[in-house]
Structure 1
Amino acid sequence: MNTKILFSVLIICLSIPFAGKAQLAFSNEVGVIAGPLLFQSDFGLRNNVDTNINNQGWGIGIVHYFNFSYRADCNCYTRDRYFNDHFKLRSEADLHYTKFTHEGIESQKDTEEGRDLRDHTGSSLVFELGMQLEYFPLSIRDFQAGGFRIAPYISLGAHYVGFNPSYESSQDVPGATPEDIYFDDFLVGDGGELGGISDASGNTWALTGSVGIRYKLTVLSDLNLELRYHKYYSNWVDGLNPDPEFYPPNKYDDSIVWLNIGYIYYLNF
């Protein structure tokens, strides 16, 4: 991971809420989110039920919102414009961890190749930092004022991503070669420690999109339920990226689907 870039992005995101504090035209919200995720990777077969069930992870995040419908400096509503009443800007830092196993027909075969797949496991620890623009089709002002208790939204954004994968096999014993241990087609690739297998950390970008709802809990707090999709612009996030010519199922970059629940609190500044 390029720590200088990551540190710079972190400083920018953390400093934005306090920029121009003397003339705030917005208010702030903070919260936490957490929940399970499905990691779509080169472990197992895509669209396979067993793969989706077993390659699950968990994630947690800290979120901050710019609320443009309310001004913190005067405790009053902002000018009644469509953007102010229907959009929020969210910045966040997420951390999620997933363990991987090979599932599907190939790994279930009673063959040497099937045993190689079953014995090969992995994991990935991923840190993300970025922003999303949220759109609320209903009025944010009316929701804050208690006009209705549920407010749906959609969002689109981008994240800077740092990842740290790992791999192992129960066949990895003294004297065994990679050809003895791992599925042969995984050993052909560009950039991995073992061709298409690697435990090298790295960084990339992700395009994010979500649909969710807010539930008004109190005047100054909401519950949040959200389903998210993150598309990573790297195929090494899971530590497995074999050459597609030798392993045709490797057609897509890595991605996750994340279901999370959160608690959001409205600040007075």
Structure 2
Amino acid sequence: MMHSHKYIATVLLFFAIVTVSNAQLGFSHELGFITGPVAFQSDYGERYDFNTNKGNVGIGVGIVHYINFAYRADCDCYSADTYWNDHFKIRSEIAYHETTLNHLGPESEKLSLGGLQLRSMEGKAKVFEAGAQIEWYPLSIRDFQSGQPKIAPYLGFGARYVNYRPEATSTLGPLGNPITTFPTFIDRIDTSQGSAIAITGDIGFRYKVGPLSDLLISSKWHYYVDSNYVDGLSPNNVNNRANDWIWWFNVGYIFYL
């Protein structure tokens, strides 16, 4: 818990530095929203199973804010002609995603007590995230803002604070006993609210739809580095080699302020 508090303080300090720097230097702002399907790679189902991957998909929504270094709104002019100003942006984001989780795959389809226990169990991952990332645009941001080219690809990397509150239920009755619960989950279910840190990777592009607006399409990966209970489960199993993570495909709309 102490480590989580240190991470939270680091994220908040980063936001403070960004805000102060922006206020002093007069960089321009962008604001938008994103939404799209979230594929939750959790301890529900079986690793690399196609039915698990396509079945445990939820939805996410978010609000994004950018600091644009290429253009200065305070003087209605472009900033200094440097590579940083013309190829980087800082993005802050708050997001919420929710996914219903089921045990899918061959093990859950068996006509056995274990198969019945898996089929009867259902979970839900409810996750709030807030953080920031740096984005690199290989093409000129200034040229894109002027309308040529129409597409601006980018790569992003960042970190965020995560607050989660999972759920786990079974139609067989309360979980935690050998009658209702698959053996690897005995004493390995925790649905209490918790916090974690996620590292993020992002690849996407913007498409210019107007002088002051862009369409955003993005493929994002979030890995929860210091918790394996974001989904409420951490099975006693040799296959439990990685923490929970998500892949989020999202579409958004960005406004220049």
Q: TM-score range by the shorter chain?
A: over 0.9
Structure 1 position 124, deviation (Å): 1.1
Residues 253 and 28 (structure 1), Cα distance of their counterparts in 2 relative to 1, 3 Å cut? same
Q: 2:214 maps to which residue?
A: 222
Q: Which runs of 4+ in 1 moved over 2 A?
A: 1-25
The secondary structure found in structure 1 opposite 2:53 is: helix
1:55 and 1:82 map into 2 onto residues whose CA distance is 42
The secondary structure found in structure 2 opposite 1:104 is: coil
Q: 1:185 maps to which residue?
A: 184
Q: Check if 1:207 corresponds to 2:199.
A: yes
Structure 1 position 11, deviation (Å): 6.5
**Letter of the aligned partner of 2:63 in structure 1?**
I
Residues 124 and 105 (structure 1), Cα distance of their counterparts in 2 relative to 1, 3 Å cut? same
Give the gaps of 5 or more residues in structure 1: 188-194
Residues 79 and 88 (structure 1), Cα distance of their counterparts in 2 relative to 1, 3 Å cut? same
Q: 1:151 maps to which residue?
A: 152
Deviations 1:83-107 (Å, cap 9, x if unpaired)? 1100000010110001100011110
Structure 1 position 24, deviation (Å): 2.5
Q: Check if 1:254 corresponds to 2:244.
A: yes
Aligned length: 255
Residues 95 and 208 (structure 1), Cα distance of their counterparts in 2 relative to 1, 3 Å cut? same
Q: 1:139 maps to which residue?
A: 140
Residues 6 and 63 (structure 1), Cα distance of their counterparts in 2 relative to 1, 3 Å cut? farther
- Counterpart contact for 1:163–1:202, Cα < 8 Å: yes
Q: Check if 1:117 corresponds to 2:118.
A: yes
Q: 1:235 maps to which residue?
A: 228
Deviations 1:17-70 (Å, cap 9, x if unpaired)? 653566424211111000001000110012111001110011011111010001
The secondary structure found in structure 1 opposite 2:222 is: strand
1:21 and 1:161 map into 2 onto residues whose CA distance is 25
Q: 1:88 maps to which residue?
A: 89
Query: What TM-score do you get using the length of structure 2 for normalisation?
Result: 0.92
- Counterpart contact for 2:176–2:185, Cα < 8 Å: no
1:20 and 1:86 map into 2 onto residues whose CA distance is 18
Query: What TM-score do you get using the length of structure 1 for normalisation?
Result: 0.88
Q: 1:192 maps to which residue?
A: none
Residues 9 and 58 (structure 1), Cα distance of their counterparts in 2 relative to 1, 3 Å cut? farther
1:10 and 1:21 map into 2 onto residues whose CA distance is 17
Give the gaps of 5 or more residues in structure 2: none
